[in-house]
Amino acid sequence: MPRDWDAEIDRWTERFRSIPDPPEPFAVAVREGWAPAARAELAAEAGDYVRTHDGFMAQLRSAGWDLVRFDARPAGCGHCGRYAGKAFSLTGERGLPEPPPLPMCPACRHTLNPLTPYFMQSMGLSMDDLTDEAVPYRDDPEPG
């Protein structure tokens, strides 16, 4: 089912009123309200991002890839930051949660990237480490 970007933009605008440092253009919208052109542009960009991200996740799944890492932009908000660097399972197996829907909010452009054995080894990480540090996605604005 396609996402209702108008409803999501409204919901996240309200959420960002209580989250420090909301991402642009929400910071402007919280202060000044939404300009119709800015709102339409955000909805179009979010829709494009979903199509690109979903295609990438489909490629990973078809290749048999399961482990991904949530990589957040440095300018992310407090809601997204709690997932930065965390591992997820595309299949919901291995004791890890399934990844959050991306974008979480219409302005976020964070990514899920393959979590390779080489990366895990270079960082000294084991599956136990990943499951111990796992953070299941919650669709609420409160960190923690």
Cα(125)–Cα(95) distance, rounded to whole angstroms? 15
Confidence of residue 144 (pLDDT cuts 50, 70, 90): very low
Q: What is the mean pLDDT of the chain?
A: 89
Torsion angle in degrees (nearest 10) through CA of 65, 68, 71, 77: 130
The dihedral sign for the CA sequence 26, 27, 31, 37: negative
Distance CA 144, CA 140 (A): 10
Residue 143, pLDDT above cutoff 70? no
What is the token pair recorded at 81? 């930051």
Q: How confident is the model at residue 9 (pLDDT cuts 50, 70, 90)?
A: very high
* pTM for the full predicted model: 0.84
In this prediction, residues 5-28 reach a mean pLDDT of 91
What percent of the chain is modeled with pLDDT above 90? 53
| pLDDT tens-digit series, residues 18-46 | 887 888 899 999 999 999 999 999 999 99
Q: How far is CA 11 from CA 8, 105, 106, 128, in A?
A: 5, 9, 10, 36
Residue-wise pLDDT for 41-87, tens only, equals 999 999 999 999 999 999 999 999 999 999 987 766 777 888 888 99
3-state secondary structure of 88: strand
Query: The tokens of 133 are what?
Result: 């540090």
Instruction: List the chain domain ranges.
Output: 5-132
CB 108 within 8 A of CB 114: no
Q: Report residue 106 as tokens.
A: 């219409």
Residue 30 CB coordination number (10 Å): 18
